[in-house]
Structure formats: structure tokens, C-alpha cells
Amino acid sequence: MPASTLWWIPLLPFTGFLLNGTVGRRLPRNAVTGIALLFTAIPAVLVAWLWSTMLSADAPLVLTAVSRPWIGITGFQVNFAFAVDHLTLILLGVITGVGFLIHLYSAGYMAHEDGYWRFFAYLNLFMFSMLVLVLSSSFLLLFVGWEGVGLASYLLIGFYFKKDAAANSGKKAFVVNRIGDFGFLLAMFLLIAHFGSLDFATVFPAIARSSQHGGFLTAIALLLVVGAAGKSAQIPLYVWLPDAMEGPTPVSALIHAATMVTAGIYMVARAHVLFDRSPFALAVVAIIGAATALFAASIGLVQHDIKRVLAYSTVSQLGYMFLACGVAAYSAAVFHLLTHAFFKALLFLAAGSVIHALSGEQDMRLMGGLRTRIPITFWTMTAGVVAIAGIPPFAGFFSKDEILYQTFSSPNPLGKLLWLVGLVTAGMTSFYMFRLWFKTFFGPERFEARFDEHTLGQPHADAHPGADEHDEAQVASHHGVHESPWGMLGPLVLLGLLSVIGGWVGIPAALGGHNEIEHFLDPVFASTAVAGSALNADNASHATELGLAAISTLVALAGFGTAYLFYYRKPGTAAALARRAPAFYRVIENKFYIDELYSFAIVTPLLAFSRLFLGLFFDKGLVGGFGAGAGAGTRGLSDLTRRIQSGNIRSYAGWLALGAAAVIAVMLFGRSLLLLH
Amino acid sequence: MNLDHAILPLILFTPLVGALVLAVLPDRGRTQQWGALAVTLLTFLFTLHLPARFDFSTTHPAFQFETNIAWIASPAIRFHLGADGLSMGLVVLSGLLAPLGVLASWNTIVDRRKTFYVLFLLQQIAMLGVFTALDLFLYYGFWELSLVPMTLLIATFGRTHNRRRAAIKYFLYTFIPSAILLVGVLWLYVRTGTFDMPILARLAEQHSISNNSSALWLASLAFLLAFAVKVPIFPLHGWLADAITEAPTAAVMVLTGKLGLYSILRFSFGIFPEQSRHIAPLMIALGAIGIVYGALLALVQNDLKRFAAFATLGALSFITLGAFSFTISGLDGAIFHIVSESLSGAALFLLLGFLYERYGSYDMRDFGGLAARLPWMVTFFVLMGLSVVGLPMLNNFVGEFLILSGAMKSVFAHHLFWTVVATTGVILSAGYMLSMIQRVFYGDLGFRPAEVDAPDLVVREHLALWPLAATFLLLGLASPGLMRSIDPVGVHLARSLPQPQPAVSGAESTAALTSPATVPSTTDGGQR
């Protein structure tokens, strides 16, 4: 495949965005769907072609395409330039593959929504930005995609803009992401100041050659971590992601699970040369990752909204990926990124199918017994739940285990502790996912009440807007609950399959595999010899690895067992426990009051300071007062101006001429008058 | 026929002739609108001659399209016009904004149309004159002229009863420093016997304007103060919010920024390079503070015009920061951003005007839920908002990015700190812009839209907005086109420090003299 074809991979979805964005409103829905799907399918085909090219024996390790300059001044230039290596290949595969499936699913899911054209235009805009993000060969062009996905996310979260919650969440997502961008930008400014360039091909070799460890490299790395924490929803900037669930469910699957939120992981992996130079920054990444994983999982334990559970689960899984980056196990991070894209996209889409079946209900307390009502959704979701819980041989097991093993064997002094945190999180993950599974699909059907209510014309407060109207008809004919159409189930089945077998590309040697994905990524991460994780992996005994795998499997099973006990055998247990420690429960249920804390400690004081101190005291008082004072001080002048303020152009012209005459007079006799020799 | 040496006078005289013709034509029907539109479009067409014929190949920032005619023998005042990379973009920008301003006033100005359009064209002449005059006296004439029509536009066509007060405030704020500027100009003439800008700049580089350093300082401050008030630079923005609140859309679009910032770059930096560098740390601080201050105040406004005023203050402060960083990146970015920011600002004020035409209010609390009613309007609002917050691929990102990265490379005291402060602007700008869009367009229908059933954008409004949207993309994606003309100026200004003065500013001068922007000058000073 010629390198120039790379341009078409992002440009086609952009064309789709322009077409649907400008004329989509006037097109029939089929045409809108056709445009959106076509301009996503062709890039997927191109990516497949790219894979086959790059995997041929004589292919270069990096395929580049450079066009004209984007920004160019003396001493600094950034081109429109793409580069594809094996890391990019994996992400391209995920983005176009999973992306296409989700487009397909959306055609069914959104079929009856207003603003159908808008939805698909934004979705294509997202694809464009995400593809630019992974294809770019410089930090600045990466930042273009980075901001672009943020914009698409803003637009899609706020898709139901008439709802205040949706509009607020969209804004929150954008602004919190901007806090991350603040760090990213500063990192880029420092890179320019030190290396005069933002091209990966210039900066990374220069860093590798640099004799310096730590110092400003640590500063740059930490600033990049701020950016990554914003995009990948890590502590302390994770708060936007749970709220992002206000968007339509396919959006949650595509943007807030499979692709966009992994951009931070991608960026850290991409800049691994820099991070390898700064053990401190790496340690920070590892600690943030482990802390986020544990913290988010603990909130996920007690959420009632099915999408919120999945959202906190996403934050937690992203924490795992961060942790992997932090122990310099970048290929393990990318491996988990890959499997997570499969099973989390699946889980969201399946949750969407459940919500669809229940006409917009998202509260698990009002579900139950859906196993037989929507069997295909049930079975595919089961595949996803087992995969994320980390039970072999499903996808999540291999990638999560790789991370835990790498953490355990990393030279980081905190390695064992971080491993323990990861292990505990794994148990919690298994528990809350099976909790979701049991509450949704087993036990008594708790949704009848809602349907009675619904048929009385009283939609539930949390109802998925827009889904209401078309389900009304189905409520009448099918008694409500119904399986989704095949346009939606097809992607579910495919992703279910991938959630089963997706992990087999990384079966470690200890379990008789070849860990193909790590070898595949070797050309990208091979230079990571500093932390020596790859080396460790080969030398460490297989017994340790097997032992760790056994432990984490047991922990996952324990999570399942507990959930089985709590939510199937003796359904009152969890509530009883919660009653035993009501304060503690309330704190977790309210997500540790972090949003309230931010609002109380940052947002409110900032607004009050701006309004009262800056606005009233400083601007009206001092600045305005200065103006008023100057006015009073020149009262004579202002009297004069009032007199000449006739509003008559001729008199103004006269004054101007008089002034000019005075000036000339001064000039003629000026030398003696001004005495400034 | 080679127009090159007649094009600048042509650009200046077209609106003048237009103003005279409009003054003669009757104020009946739509005569005045069509007349003004024709004149401004013709002027715009002429300004396009500049980029078409501009010699981009020179690395030395020479003046092109020069007209240099002796006007008055003694004192030596010449009719000297010319354009370089600094002014070319601004001339074209002024040319573009004028017809858009006419379109914006089409239905809003109904009384005394003749007065309005004549004043509007006079304002246009003054701006074009300021950007092209190379004779200091001629320049001062245009500078003063720019003051009068604007004051009258505010006083006569202001929106509320407060208009006269706002006009007087504006007049006093800008007139008094201008008077001091005049003293500075005259002192220069007395010292050097010339008003000619290229000659003065050369003398400045040779340190031969004056040996009296305190007099030089006073003169440089006279210049800077006049310009800084006009921009306005924080904290001299006392006139800004009132003037913007009152002034009609077409006037607001050209009210801020350009004139003062251009003058700082041309005259303060050109004639007082050394003094400008010495005051740079203060100006960098004011720039950074202005960014945050403007953004924070924009965040808490309810009035859309005041909101826009503080947003503008923030955007202009970026330019101050970049210019006074005295790095190639900062200066290039600043010059680029003057043009770029004016376009975004123009779009903002146009859109606010269109909203006001429909609902008769600038109070955000009156609005809400308009997105479903006015899909095109919300599209343009979002696009403009994204441009203002500096989304990559749109115009403002290029300028802000270069400015901030230039500030990071600057060698002045505390530059690192102020760069970090200024960069928080990217968070705050997203905050205020998205809040505004949410309050006006999302959520439940506000009470004004509930009362008034207004249509989406009409053809005239589309005609005004699409060119701006196109320039957003053009400048955002193809910045090198404009940057090629700007860069030599930026390089020249960044390097044109006179003799190094090791005792005072060793690091500063070595960096400025030896470095293209790539050479590092921060912490470790040697990585390449």
C-alpha cells in the first residue's frame, strides 16, 4: 500500500462528517446511515490492506507520509505527517474495526431518534479525530486528534442537549479534558524549548541520546501524565467519565470505553522513550494507575445504574493500563487496551440492548430475570462479564494477568504492593460485574411496575429520552420486553466472540503460548531496556508466573462466588451489610463525594472570587474608579468636551484642523518651545 | 498597468470618495446600505491586491507597495505609505471586515443611516491609514482620526441611555494618552528632524536618536501608554466593557486590538527597541494576568456584550504576552493572532448582533434552548466558540500555540511562571465559552425565545458568516500562507536588539542575537 493512501484513512470519515453535517438534515435516514457506514467501512478495509502490507517480510518498520507544513516559522516547523508502526497498527485495527461495528449497531439503536443525521456526523467526526491521533508523527498533530476527540465527545455527550444533565456533562467533559490539555501543552512548550521540535522522529532520539536523567525530562513526562490522566480518566481527573454516560449508549461504547479514553495510554506508550528516562515519572504513573483502579472499582461496587457501573469499571480498567505503563510494561498495557476494547464495547452495547429492551430503563433495581426474555443479549453479555472478570480462557484473563505479573516482577520497589492492589481490584471487578449480571438477568422480574407506569404515560425520570416514543408501540404489542433487531445483535455476537478469543494473541510462555502481541510490538518498545521488564519476563521462573495466574483466577472466582451468594442465593445480604455500616455505604454510594468536593473547594470559590473580588471590587471599583477619577480630575476637560460634543461632524473636523494647526505651530517654533535638546 | 505603487493610496481614497458620495446621496430606501456595501467591497477587492502581489521571498522585512511623496517641506512631512508582513494581513483584514459590518447593520441601523455609514467609512479610512502610514506625522493624523468617528458612533448609535457616558469615557481614555503621544512624536522630530519611520528605525538601531536615556524612556512610555490604552492592555481596560456594550455591532467589530497592537509592534518596538525590552517583564506579567482576568470575568457575566468584552480582553492579552516575549515564535504568533483574533471576535459580535436582532436582549438569563429552534445559528456559535477556545485546525490555535511556546522560550524574568499562568487560559476559555453556549442554546426554552418566534439565519446573515468561517479554516489549516509574510518581521523584531549590554542583560542579548528559535535558552542552555 503506498504511503500516500494513509491520508484517506482519516479523510474519508471527515468527508462523511461534512456530508452528513451539512446536508444530512435533508437526507432520508437510509442515506445518512449509508454515508456514515460507507465512510467508516472503507478506512477499515484500508487498514486491513495496511496490515497486510506492513506484515510482509520486506516492509519497513515505520511507514511515513509527509505532506506540506501546517505551522512553519523560522526555527520551528510542524508538517502534516503520518507514521505507522506496529503500535499504530493495533490501534488502527481497534478503531476502525470496533468503530465500524458500533456504527452498525447505532443504526439500529438510534433508528427513531431525532437528530439522527447529527449523531452520525459527530460519530464520523470522532473517527476522523481518533485516526489522526494515532496516525500522527508529531506531538502537535497528535494534539489535533486529541482535541478533536474531545470535541466529538462533547458534542455526543450533549447529544440530548435539551436535558440539562446532558449539557452539563458535555461541558464538564470538555473542561476537565482541557485541564489535561493544559499539562500536555506545557509539555510541548518545554519540548520545543529544549529540542526545537515536536516530531517523534527528532525528539525521541534526542532524548535517548541525552545524557540527562530526570530533571526537565521528568517535568515534561509529568506534564504529559496530566494530559493522559485527563483523557484516560485517571485520578484526579476521572470525574468527567461517569457523567459522560449521559450520551447515547453506542457513544459510551465507542468513545468512553473502546477508543478515546485509551488515548492517554497510547500517548504514554508512544512517549515511552521519555518515560524510560524518568523512573520518578514512571512511578507516579504506576501509583496513579493502581490507585485509580482500586478507587473506581470500589465505587462500582454499589452503583445502581447499569451504565454507571460500566463507567466506573472503565475507569478502573484504564487504571490497570496506566499501572502497566508505570512498570514499563507497555506491551501489556496495549494488550489490555486491545482486549478491553472488545469486552467493554461489548458490555456497553449489550447494556444498550438491555436498556433498549426495557424502553430506557437503566436502574438495575428495576431489572432482573431478563435471561430468557433477551437470550442473545444475555449470552453475549455473559461472554463480556466473564472476560472482564478475568476467568480463563477469556480475553481479559490474559491481558490482566500479564499486567499483574509484570507489576509483580518489576524492579519498582513498590511492585509487590501495586500487584496486591491490582489483585484486590481484580476480585472487586469480578464481584461487581457478576453483581450486574445477576441483578440484570436473574431473579424476579422487577420491571413490570415500570411498564405499568409507562403505559400510563409516566415515563421514568431516568428514561432514555427519545427511546420512549418508539417503544411505546412495542410496549403495547410485546408486553414491553423484546430482543433487539439483528443489526444490533450482529455486532454483539462478533464482539462476544472476540471477548472469548481476543486474549489468545498474548498467551504467555508459561501457559504454553508465544505471547505474539509482545513480539509484535517489540520493534516499538524494544528500546525499553532501562526498566528491563521484558528481560525480567524471560528470566523469571515460569513457576512464579503460573502461581500468580492461579492466584488471580482464584480471586476472580471468589468474586463470582460472593456475587452469587449476595445477589442470587441470599438476595438480602448486600442490603443487610449496607445497613450495618450506613455511613460508610453512603460515602461509597455517593462516589466519595468527590464531585461535591471539587465543586466546594475549587469551582465555587473560583466563581465567587471572580464575581466579587475581581468583578465588583477590582473591575468596578479600582479599574472603573480609576476611570471615574481620571474623569473627575479632568472635569474641566470634560466640560470642554461636552461643549464641543455637538454630535456635528463639521465641528469635529474643525477641532481636528485646529489641533493640527497647533501641532504645526509647535513644530515650527518647537525647538525653542520644547527645550528638549 | 502596474498598480503596485498606487495601490495603497487607492485603498485609502476609495472609502474617502465613498464617504463623500454617500454624504451627497439621499438617505432614502436602502441607498445608503447598498452604497456602503459597494464601497467597502471595492476597497476589499483593492486590498486583495497586496497578498496577490506581495513579495514573499524576501527574508529582510522591507516595505513594499511604497508611495513616498513630499507633502510639506518644512516641517518635513511626507505622504509615505507602505506595507510589510506586519501590516499586510491587517489591511486585508480591515478590508474584509468592513462589508461584513455593513451587512450586520443592514436592518439594525434605521435612523440617520447617512451619518452612520459616513462615520463608518471614515473609521475605515483611519484604520487603513494607521496600518499603512510610514510617516509619523501622517500616522498621528490617522490615529487621531480613528478616535472621532468611533466616539460619535457610540454616542449616536449606542444601544441604551448610557451611550453618551460610554462615549465620553472612551474618548477621554484614548484622547489624553494620545495627546501625550503627540508630545513624544514631536520630541522625536525635534531630535532627529524627521518623521520618516524607516529612517527613525534605522537611527534607533544605531543608538543615535538621543543620548539622554531618561528622555528616551519618557518618550517610549508616552508611545506605549497611548497604544496600551487603545488595545486595551490590562489594567487600562476601563473603557472597554462600556464601549462594547453600547457600540453597534459594526463598530464593535473594529473597536479593539488591532490599532494599538499594531502600533506597539511597529512604533514602540521599532523606535524604542531597548526600552521595550526593559519593560518586557512587566508587560509579560500584564499579558498573562490579562488572559486569566478576562477569562474569569467572562465566566461570571450575564450580559452577552460584557461577556464578549472580557473574552476579548483575554484574547488581546495573549498578543501582548507573545509580542513582549521577544522570541521569534512569540512575535510571529502575536502578529498572526492580531488578525486571527479579530476574525473570531468579529464572528462573536456578529452572532451576538443577530441574536439581539431577533430577541432584543443581551441577557443570557433570557435565553436557553435555542439549539432546536435555530440549528444554523447554534452551528456558527459553536464554530466561533471553538475558534475562540483555540481548537487545533482553527485559526486561533496557531497564534496561541506560538505565543505560549514563545513565552516559554523567553529570557525575561519569571517567564516560566507567567507562561504557566497564561496557559491556564485554555482551561478557562473553554469554561466560559461552553457555559455561554449552554446557557443560550441548551436546556429549556428561555422566556424570550418562548415569546418571540424568530427564524433561523437568513441569507444576508449567511453571507456575513461564511467568509469568517472560511477564514477560520484557512488560517487554521494553511497558516504558512500568511506566516511567510509575518515571519521575517518576527525574526527582525526578535533579533534587532542594539548593542549588547552585558552588565544589564547578558543572557538576554546573546539569546536574541545568536538564536533562531531552536536554540534553547532555558534551564540547561545547551541541548540541541
**What is the phi-psi region of residue A215: left when phi exceeds 0, alpha when psi lies from -120 to 50, beta otherwise?**
left
How does the average pLDDT of chain B come out, rounded? 88
Q: How far apart are the first and last CA of chain B?
A: 50
What's the CA gap between A148 and B194, in Å, rounded? Answer: 53
Note whether B345 and B464 are same-domain residues.
Answer: yes
Residue A295 has pLDDT above 50, yes or no: yes
- Candidates A71, A138, A226, A668: best to mutate against B (most CBs of B within 10 A) is A71
Note whether B230 and B348 are same-domain residues.
Answer: no
What's the CA gap between A370 and A436, in Å, rounded? Answer: 12
Note whether B50 and B25 are same-domain residues.
Answer: yes
pLDDT tens readout for residues B48-80: 999 999 988 877 778 999 999 988 887 888 999
Helical ranges in B158-279 per DSSP H: 163-192, 197-205, 213-230, 240-246, 249-252, 258-263, 269-271, 273-278
Is-contact A589 B271, C-beta < 8 A? Answer: no
Which chain B residue shows the shortest CA-CA distance from A607?
Answer: B300
Residue B316 has pLDDT above 70, yes or no: yes
The minimum CA-CA distance between A242 and chain B, rounded to whole Å, is 19
Q: Which residues of A touch B191 (CB under 8 A)?
A: 676
User: Do the Cβ atoms of A144 and B393 come within 8 Å?
Assistant: yes
In this prediction, residue B496 has a pLDDT band, given cuts at 50, 70 and 90, of low
What's the CA gap between A303 and B135, in Å, rounded? Answer: 73
What's the CA gap between A230 and A176, in Å, rounded? Answer: 7
How does the average pLDDT of chain A come out, rounded? 85
Residue A637 has pLDDT above 80, yes or no: no
**Bridge partner list, A82:** A65, A136
Q: For A388-397, A407-416, A641-650, which range has the lowest pLDDT when averaged over its residues?
A: A641-650
Residue with cell 469486552: A343
Q: For A178-187, A517-526, B299-308, B391-400, which range has the lowest pLDDT when averaged over its residues?
A: A517-526
Angle, helices A279-300 vs A306-326, to 10°: value is 160
Q: Which residues of A touch B402 (CB under 8 A)?
A: 71, 73
Domain count, chain B: 2
Q: Which residues of A touch B420 (CB under 8 A)?
A: 186
The minimum CA-CA distance between A209 and chain B, rounded to whole Å, is 10
Q: What pLDDT does residue B46 have?
A: 95
Note whether B107 and B243 are same-domain residues.
Answer: yes
Is residue B211 assigned to a domain?
Answer: no
Residue from the list B145, B299, B420 with its beta carbon closest to the beta carbon of A607: B299
Q: Region A662-676: what's the mean pLDDT?
A: 50
Q: Which residue, among B342, B330, B335, has the nearest Cα to B403 in the 3D structure?
A: B330
Note whether B171 and B96 are same-domain residues.
Answer: yes
Q: Which residues of A touch B410 (CB under 8 A)?
A: none
Q: What pLDDT does residue B228 have?
A: 95
Is-contact B271 B182, C-beta < 8 A? Answer: no
Residue A639 has pLDDT above 70, yes or no: no
Q: Which residues of B touch A623 (CB under 8 A)?
A: 235, 237-238
Is-contact B200 B192, C-beta < 8 A? Answer: yes
User: Do the Cβ atoms of A162 and B434 come within 8 Å?
Assistant: no
Residue from the list B186, B392, B431 with its beta carbon closest to the beta carbon of A674: B186
User: Do the Cβ atoms of A185 and B423 come within 8 Å?
Assistant: yes
Q: Which residues of A touch B329 (CB under 8 A)?
A: 73, 75-76, 192
Q: Which residues of B touch A144 (CB under 8 A)?
A: 392-393
Give the cell for residue B403. 505565543
What's the CA gap between A235 and A289, in Å, rounded? Answer: 8
Note whether B321 and B402 are same-domain residues.
Answer: yes
Helical ranges in A59-85 per DSSP H: none
Q: Where are the domains of chain A?
A: 592-631
What's the CA gap between A528 and A563, in Å, rounded? Answer: 41
- Cβ under 8 Å to A: B residues 314-343: 328-329, 332
Note whether B407 and B295 are same-domain residues.
Answer: yes
Is-contact B328 B516, C-beta < 8 A? Answer: yes
Q: What pLDDT does residue A642 have?
A: 57
Q: Which residue, among B142, B155, B428, has the nearest Cα to B258 in the 3D structure?
A: B142
The minimum CA-CA distance between A134 and chain B, rounded to whole Å, is 16
User: CA of B220: how far to CAs of B216, B275, B283, B374, in Å?
Assistant: 6, 7, 14, 50
Note whether B245 and B362 are same-domain residues.
Answer: no
E strands present in B19-148: 64-72, 77-83
Residue B151 has pLDDT above 70, yes or no: yes
Note whether B300 and B173 are same-domain residues.
Answer: no
Q: Region B307-332: what's the mean pLDDT?
A: 95
Residue from the list B299, B419, B518 with its beta carbon closest to the beta carbon of A189: B419
Q: Region A407-414: what's the mean pLDDT?
A: 87
pLDDT tens readout for residues B197-206: 999 998 988 8
What's the CA gap between B253 and B250, in Å, rounded? Answer: 5
Is-contact A78 A66, C-beta < 8 A? Answer: no
**H/E element, A63:** strand A63-73
Q: What pLDDT does residue A531 have?
A: 43
Is residue B350 assigned to a domain?
Answer: yes
Q: Pick the residue with more confidence: A477 or B229?
A: B229
In this prediction, residue B354 has a pLDDT band, given cuts at 50, 70 and 90, of very high
What's the CA gap between A92 and A130, in Å, rounded? Answer: 9
Residue from the list A74, A659, A671 with its beta carbon closest to the beta carbon of B491: A74
User: Do the Cβ atoms of A624 and B238 come within 8 Å?
Assistant: yes
Domain holding B90, by residue range, is 1-55+68-188+223-263
Note whether B227 and B330 are same-domain residues.
Answer: no
Which chain A residue shows the shortest CA-CA distance from B428?
Answer: A175
Note whether B239 and B283 are same-domain residues.
Answer: no
pLDDT tens readout for residues B477-490: 988 989 999 999 99
Q: What pLDDT does residue A450 have?
A: 54
- The answer, yes or no, to whether the previous bond of B520 is cis (omega within 30 of 0) is no
Q: Region A114-131: what's the mean pLDDT?
A: 93
What ipTM goes with this model? 0.90
In this prediction, residue A640 has a pLDDT band, given cuts at 50, 70 and 90, of low
What's the CA gap between B87 and A303, in Å, rounded? Answer: 60
- Cβ under 8 Å to A: B residues 3-62: none
In this prediction, residue A532 has a pLDDT band, given cuts at 50, 70 and 90, of very low
The minimum CA-CA distance between A677 and chain B, rounded to whole Å, is 7
Note whether B488 and B396 are same-domain residues.
Answer: yes
Is-contact B528 B519, C-beta < 8 A? Answer: yes
Q: What pLDDT does residue A474 have?
A: 43
